[in-house]
């Protein structure tokens, strides 16, 4: 019989180590095979009669086959809840140990979110290892907060809803409760509060006052999470979206005052037109130019928004909304991928107000060249 001395949690971050350790009651073990459907077996060998295997590398490949692209285009005239199958991975590896004559086999199911965890607060969070999580910053897997900018596409994600679960939202300040919704699958649920043109109030439960809206998430008649949604009234600015370390997508509106740069560089010159001066207008000819466009952005945020905002600095993918004004409906290609310049970012918590400045570079500008 295979016995585990160290096993994984019910839900695990895909980009952290996920190590299992196990042994077997059969004697004289020579090796162990770990087989995941569709993959070649991985063979491990015992040390002091104990096997160890880290799922991290294979999980990173399996969970990110489509990269960090977001394929969902919300349309709030039809629905505001969307299932996203790309944010969660479940695998059922078969583990077999061998000696020269006997084999011992067991199958286990493990779940991974497309996320990474940090050491601070992690032990406190796993003490409340809830089966349902909101993919936002939290120190206890129960209390969450997020800022929503009116008139821009926005969603937050919920992981752990199983097929057949019922769930609803309750505004604890007004007592209003939404209708019950039924989960049709095990995928991550993304709750869209806006598709740009339309704002969703979840059947008047959110109401979306210009302050903090305290929303409770109830699953199968059990309170699973408190979500503080801070609504900021519509305004112009530079709107960025990024894939966050919690396994979902984040959004932030940077100030409408920004600096735009276009850097142009000569590729090279073809020098030497050998002819009489009266027959030429130039002694050189340009091969063309290269050009890049960049923006220097800034924003301010409170202490309780800090963890959410500075996560953009660590994101593998950042996108810029093509519109600088609110209430424009999101369509395919409304967000363009940008690169963020590396740098040293400092924060001063004077008066509990933080500031962030970032430089983003737009997709390459096409130019005419020889």
- The predicted pLDDT at position 174 comes to 87
Architecture, CATH, for domain 1-69+86-114:
Sandwich (2.60)
pLDDT digits over 159-188, tens only? 999 999 999 999 998 889 999 999 999 999
Strand order in the sheet with 188-194: 81-84, 188-194, 154-159, 133-134
User: 4 is written with which tokens?
Assistant: 């585990």
Domain boundary assignment for the chain: 1-69+86-114, 117-234, 238-361
Instruction: For the chain, give the number of residues.
Output: 370
Provide the strand spans (E) within 79-151.
81-84, 88-91, 94-98, 103-107, 110-113, 133-134, 143-149
Q: Fold match between 1-69+86-114 and 117-234?
A: yes
pLDDT digits over 62-105, tens only? 999 888 889 899 999 889 999 999 999 999 999 999 988 889 99
Provide the strand spans (E) within 175-308.
181-182, 188-194, 212-219, 222-232, 238-243, 249-254, 259-266, 269-271, 284-286, 289-302
- The predicted pLDDT at position 159 comes to 93
* pTM of the predicted model as reported, rounded to 2 decimal places: 0.89
Q: Which CATH class is domain 117-234?
A: mainly beta
Kind of pairing between the strands at 103-107 and 284-286:
unpaired
pLDDT digits over 196-216, tens only? 999 888 877 777 666 788 999
- The predicted pLDDT at position 128 comes to 64
* Eight-state DSSP code of residue 161: P
Name the residue among 124, 128, 228 with its Cα closest to residue 169: 228
């Amino acid at each position: 019989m295979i016995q585990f001395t160290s096993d994984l949690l019910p839900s695990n971050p895909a980009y952290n180590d996920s190590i299992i350790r196990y042994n077997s009651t059969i004697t004289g073990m020579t090796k162990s095979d770990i087989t995941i459907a569709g993959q070649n077996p991985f063979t491990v060998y015992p040390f002091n009669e104990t096997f160890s295997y880290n799922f991290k590398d294979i999980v990173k490949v399996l969970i990110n086959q489509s990269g960090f692209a977001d394929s969902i285009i919300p349309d709030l005239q039809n629905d505001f809840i969307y299932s996203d199958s790309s944010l969660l991975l479940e695998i059922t590896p078969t583990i077999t140990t061998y000696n020269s004559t006997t084999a011992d086999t067991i199958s286990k199911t493990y779940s991974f979110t497309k996320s990474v965890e940090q050491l601070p607060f992690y032990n406190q969070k796993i003490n409340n290892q809830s089966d349902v999580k909101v993919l936002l910053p939290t120190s206890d897997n129960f209390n969450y907060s997020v800022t929503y900018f009116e008139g821009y596409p926005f969603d937050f994600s919920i992981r752990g809803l199983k097929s057949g679960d019922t769930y609803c939202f309750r505004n604890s300040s007004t007592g209003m409760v939404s209708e019950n919704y039924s989960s049709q699958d095990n995928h991550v649920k993304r709750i869209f509060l806006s598709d740009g043109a339309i704002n969703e109030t979840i059947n008047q439960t959110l109401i979306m006052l210009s302050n903090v809206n305290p929303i409770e998430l109830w699953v199968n008649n059990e309170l699973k999470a408190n979500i503080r949604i801070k609504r900021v009234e519509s305004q112009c600015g530079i709107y960025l979206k990024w894939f966050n370390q919690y396994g979902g997508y984040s959004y932030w509106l940077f100030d409408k005052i920004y600096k735009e740069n276009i850097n142009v560089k000569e590729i090279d010159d073809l020098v030497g037109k050998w002819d009489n001066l009266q027959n030429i207008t130039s002694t050189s000819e340009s091969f063309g130019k290269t050009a890049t466009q960049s923006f220097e952005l800034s924003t301010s945020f409170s202490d309780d928004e800090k963890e959410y905002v500075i996560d953009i600095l660590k994101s593998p993918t950042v996108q810029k909304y093509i519109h600088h004004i609110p209430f424009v409906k999101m369509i395919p290609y409304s967000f363009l991928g940008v690169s963020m310049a590396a740098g040293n970012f400092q924060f001063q918590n004077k008066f509990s107000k933080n500031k962030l400045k970032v430089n983003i570079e737009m997709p390459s500008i096409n130019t005419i060249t020889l």
